[in-house]
Structures are given as C-alpha cells and as structure tokens.
Amino acid sequence: MPFKRHCRIVIENIHPREAKVCTHQINYSLTEIPEDAGSFHAQFRRVNPLPYGEAYTLLDGVKGRGHYVGTSMGWGINNNGWWGEGEVKFYLDGDWEYPTICGTGTEDYFGGSYNWEVDGQYVTYSTPFLGMHQVIRPDPGQHDICSVAYWYQTLPTAPFPRFPDRDLLEIV
C-alpha cells in the first residue's frame, strides 16, 4: 500500500456503547516510491433492501489512472434459491452504452459456478484469489448486499460517497 507523505486509516465505533478495546497493528517500511505510483483505495457500499430488478453498483465515479484489484461482497438472501445470476459489468474509460467487460454472473466472478452446493447446501471454499468464506443461512428478510471495492489510483481522487450512519447499516 504505497503512500508518499502520509496514510490515513480510520476506525470508528458506531455502536451506542463505548468500545473497551481496539487492537491493531500497522507495519510499514520507508523506501522510495515512484512518482507515478497509485495509492490504495477502498470503498464500502450497501443497499438494504435491494429493489427488485435493480443493478447493484460496486464502484462509480472513479476518474484518473489506476488498477482495479477486486471486490469483497456480502449478500443476504431471502430464500434457498440461487442468487448468483446476473451479469457483472465493468464500464471503463468512457464506455456507457455497452460494458467494457461483461461477465456471466456473480457466481463466476467469485470463482464458484454451479451454486457452491454440496447435498443441496451452500459450502465455503477458498483459492488464492477467489472464494466464499462464510455461509449464512437464508432468513425471511429482503436481499441485503454490501461490498468493498479495492483499487490503486493516481491522485487526486474524486470524493467518496458518504459512509452510511448506524441507522442505515441496521439489518432490516
């Protein structure tokens, strides 16, 4: 995670009770950073409930030179049916009418096609770059999707959307 002059890491407790302990460790090395090196970025998004038939956006409004690294996603579903279909679309460098990259579905984006099922139940799996690390059994609620997109980008950065407050993060 190269940085030239400073790095900002924010940890915020939005729980109504005071946190008694927050443990962290930050390792770094002092070295030369190329002037054109991109800075690490991460952006959280969440939609709950996801309106029927609407696209979920992982990342939007990025301007400048950079490299997309990947996505971490959480998806709560309201039934035992398959949720992973639907195209994963990347629009790059001014493309708008047609995506630059169009995938075959969420299940393929995370490397686990054919439902990640064994004996009718979702199962976890892990590879060096892909995986499904936790299975939460369906509940009667609506679709609840959250994600963090990771990328490196040259500065300056466009403003991020406002981080949701405690009420918007509540699971309904």
Q: pLDDT digits over 99-111, tens only?
A: 999 988 777 788 7
Q: What pLDDT sits at residue 141?
A: 55
Distance separating alpha carbons of residues 96 and 110, to the nearest angstrom: 24
CA nearest 90: which of 113, 64, 62? 62
Within 13 Å of residue 3, how many CA atoms lie on the same side as its CB? 11
Q: What pLDDT sits at residue 168?
A: 76
Q: Which residue has the tokens 């309904």?
A: 172
What single-letter DSSP state applies at residue 79?
A: S
CATH number of 39-169: 2.60.120.1390, 3.10.150.10, 3.20.20.80, 2.60.40.10? Answer: 2.60.120.1390
What single-letter DSSP state applies at residue 37?
A: P
Residue 104: other Cβ atoms inside 10 A: 13
User: Would you list the domain boundaries of the chain?
Assistant: 39-169
Q: What pLDDT sits at residue 99?
A: 92
The pTM of this model reads 0.79
38 in Cβ contact with 66 (< 8 Å): yes
What is the per-residue pLDDT across 31-90, written as a single tens digit (0 to 9) for each?
888 888 888 899 998 888 778 778 888 898 888 888 999 998 887 766 655 556 678 889
